[in-house]
């Protein structure tokens, strides 16, 4: 973690004379939701400043065990004070009024480092917020910290950066939280903030969310702006919520969805966003739903304990009212899923550097390589990407967005065609076929990553929710894949499953 000077940290938690009176009862931060907090504000149980101070104290106590955060916002208490004054004056709470937010370290935040975990950006401090950050701030969210990540978002396996080191899984610190949004996942799971943001090129919201018993939304490509976010492959990149509950994730989505002229792909979302995503939070939302089971998503045999949890999830879906169709077959699936990736890192990251960083010394991929890295994994990826561009195979096929690329469209049409023929509302599969890897053996034990295979290429939304726990207290996730712009349906299904099973539990690091 970036180490704040002791005096600055003291200021941040309010011991230099700006501290709120203690709340009537100590604030129990365990599993607090947006609704819980707003009810407490309205009842006068505590205020924004008291809540922020409690989270800052908890971060100081807990994060040394998991190393999930990279920067603590020194203005968080002052922002909370201003929101308290606003509420006293107006008696109106904004949608995310006073809600502590943790932001992945590749999303531009005004006045705070945005490093993507890389030495080349270690001194970069944006002078403007990303489009979605501005929307969250306008809604009343308080950025309390930035979170660690896999350097340049290169690794789905683990979250190691040159700027902050390695993040550990709060459920068992000997294991990975996956990558690349592992810092957001670990910190939200450990109750260091209320809501979190991650990015997902192939796995990086859903993989870490699954490994940390969280809800993770990878939404339709085009629903949420990616402007002012350090890219990996922009044609696949999505930003989205990572939260402890479906309700909180839906409330974040309500704020950040929408058109941004700086991200042209968001034009496809116009007229496709409902007035409210919260309207889909229906406890019996699985009653009458039709769910297809995709068994052959990977060649890897699932670990027996994951298979057992998945089969139990299917029984739970049935008992909650869904009609479950097992062993759905996608015509041509094995060939359609191949040759979907394109090596666009050079083009995308150099465009980001030119538009936002504007440095005379960091302009090209070669400049990034020259500055260097502490990560062996990142060094290998940088070298590979310096020598490759475009599609990994069949270079004659142009690499385009999800609405224009012929291979992506064919893959999506095959999946949605089967969904239509079977009248399916969603397809389900385990987010991982294997449990989290041990930190010291992440390369050898990285297996069963199902999130990479469909939605990053087809553009379809895919949400993960907690599915239970396996051995060594390690979480597993159930993934729901939907049609383009079917977020409302997925919220309805995942909320009903979450409420009917209650698999989420805090890690013992909380105690």
Report the CATH number at residue 462: 3.90.1300.10
Q: Which three-class secondary structure state does DSSP give residue 65?
A: helix
- CA gap 114, 199 in Å, rounded: 14
Side-chain half-sphere CA neighbours of 370 within 13 A: 7
φ, ψ of residue 293 in degrees (nearest 5): -110, 120
Contacts of 235 (CB under 8 A, 6+ apart): 342, 344, 399, 400, 401, 402, 405
Residue 453 lies in a domain: yes
Give the pTM. Answer: 0.95
- CA gap 475, 430 in Å, rounded: 12
Beta partners for residue 229, in sequence order: 107
Per-residue pLDDT, 55: 98
Tell me the pLDDT band of 396, cut-offs 50, 70 and 90.
confident
Q: Indicate if the alpha-carbon torsion angle 254, 258, 262, 263 is positive or negative.
A: positive
SS3 labels along 302-366: CCHHHHHHHHHHHHHHHHCCCEEECCCCCCCHHHHCCCCCEECHHHHHHHHHHHHHCCCCCCCHH
Question: Quick one: which H or E segment has residue 146?
Answer: strand 142-147
Q: Tell me, yes or no, if 35 is annotated catalytic.
A: no
Q: Which of 187, 204, 225, 375 is catalytic?
A: 204
Residue 94 lies in a domain: yes
> How many percent of the chain have pLDDT more than 90?
91
Residue 172 lies in a domain: yes
| Higher pLDDT among residues 392 and 283, named by residue | 283
Query: Tens digit of pLDDT for each residue in 132-178?
Result: 999 999 999 999 999 999 999 999 999 999 999 999 999 999 999 99
Number of domains composing the chain: 1
Residue 1 lies in a domain: no
Domain that holds residue 355: 6-510
10 Å CB burial of residue 278 (0-12, 13-18, 19+) is: middle
Asked which of 212-221, 292-301, 355-364 is least confident by mean pLDDT, the reply is 292-301
Query: Tens digit of pLDDT for each residue in 430-471?
Result: 999 999 999 999 999 999 999 999 999 999 999 999 999 999
Tell me the pLDDT band of 296, cut-offs 50, 70 and 90.
confident
Residue 479 lies in a domain: yes
What tokens were used for 483? 């049609």
Query: Tens digit of pLDDT for each residue in 28-48?
Result: 999 999 999 999 999 999 999
Contacts of 304 (CB under 8 A, 6+ apart): none
Per-residue pLDDT, 394: 81
10 Å CB burial of residue 270 (0-12, 13-18, 19+) is: exposed
Residue 84 lies in a domain: yes
In 425-469, beta strands by DSSP E: 426-430, 462-469
Asked which of 47-51, 184-188, 384-388, 405-409 is least confident by mean pLDDT, the reply is 384-388
189 close to 213: Cβ distance less than 8 angstroms: yes
Q: Which of 180, 227, 431, 486 is catalytic?
A: 180
Residue 281 lies in a domain: yes
The average confidence (pLDDT) of the chain is: 94
3-state helix vs strand vs coil in the chain, percent to 5 = 40, 15, 45
Per-residue pLDDT, 21: 64
The count of other CB atoms within 10 Å of the CB of residue 52 is 27
Q: Which three-class secondary structure state does DSSP give residue 83?
A: helix
Residue 30 lies in a domain: yes
Q: Which of 104, 251, 337, 435 is catalytic?
A: 104
Longest dimension (CA), the chain: 67
Q: Tell me, yes or no, if 355 is annotated catalytic.
A: no
Q: Tell me, yes or no, if 319 is annotated catalytic.
A: no
């Amino acid at each position: 973690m970036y180490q704040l000077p002791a005096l600055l940290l003291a200021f941040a938690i309010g011991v230099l004379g700006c501290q709120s009176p203690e709340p009537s009862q100590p604030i129990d931060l365990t599993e607090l939701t947006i609704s819980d907090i707003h009810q407490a504000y309205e009842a006068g149980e505590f205020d924004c400043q008291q809540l922020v101070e409690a989270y800052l104290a908890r971060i100081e106590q807990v994060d040394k065990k998991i190393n999930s955060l990279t920067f603590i916002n020194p203005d968080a208490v002052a922002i909370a004070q201003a929101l308290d004054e606003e509420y006293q004056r107006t008696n109106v709470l904004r949608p995310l009024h006073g809600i502590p937010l943790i932001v992945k370290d590749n999303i531009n935040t005004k006045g705070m480092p945005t490093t993507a975990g890389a030495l080349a950006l270690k001194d970069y401090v944006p002078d403007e917020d990303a489009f979605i950050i501005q929307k969250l701030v306008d809604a009343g969210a308080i950025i309390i910290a930035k979170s660690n990540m896999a350097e340049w978002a290169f690794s789905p396996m683990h979250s190691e950066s040159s700027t902050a080191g390695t993040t550990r899984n709060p459920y068992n610190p000997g294991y990975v939280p996956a990558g690349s949004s592992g810092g957001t996942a670990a910190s939200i799971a450990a109750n260091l903030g209320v809501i979190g943001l991650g990015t997902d090129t192939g796995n990086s919201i859903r993989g870490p969310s699954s490994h940390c018993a969280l809800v993770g939304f990878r939404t339709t490509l085009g629903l949420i702006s990616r402007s002012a976010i350090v890219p990996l492959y922009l044609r696949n990149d999505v930003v989205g919520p990572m939260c402890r509950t479906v309700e909180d994730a839906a409330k974040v989505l309500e704020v950040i969805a929408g058109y941004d002229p700086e991200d042209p792909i968001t034009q496809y979302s116009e007229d496709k966003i409902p007035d409210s995503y919260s309207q889909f939070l229906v406890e019996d939302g699985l009653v009458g739903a039709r769910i297809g089971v995709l068994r052959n998503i990977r060649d890897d045999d699932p670990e027996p304990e994951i298979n057992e949890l998945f089969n139990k999830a299917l029984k739970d879906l049935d008992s909650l009212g869904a009609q479950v169709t097992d062993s759905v077959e996608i015509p041509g699936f094995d060939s359609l899923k191949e040759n979907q990736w394109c090596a666009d890192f050079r083009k995308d990251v150099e465009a980001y550097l030119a538009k936002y960083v504007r440095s005379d010394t960091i302009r090209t991929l070669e400049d990034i390589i020259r500055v260097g890295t502490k990560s062996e994994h990142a060094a290998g990826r940088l070298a590979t990407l310096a020598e490759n561009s475009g599609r990994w195979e069949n270079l004659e096929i142009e690499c385009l967005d999800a609405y224009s690329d012929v291979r992506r469209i064919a893959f999506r049409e095959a999946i949605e065609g089967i969904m239509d023929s079977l009248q399916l509302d969603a397809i389900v599969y385990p987010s991982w076929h294997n449990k989290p890897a041990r930190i010291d053996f992440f390369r050898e034990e990285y297996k069963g990553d199902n999130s990479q295979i469909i939605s990053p290429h087809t553009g379809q939304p895919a949400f993960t929710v907690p599915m239970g726990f396996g051995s060594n207290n390690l979480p597993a996730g159930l993934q729901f894949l939907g049609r383009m712009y079917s977020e409302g349906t997925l919220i309805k299904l995942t909320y009903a499953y979450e409420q009917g099973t209650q698999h989420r539990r805090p890690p013992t690091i909380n105690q």
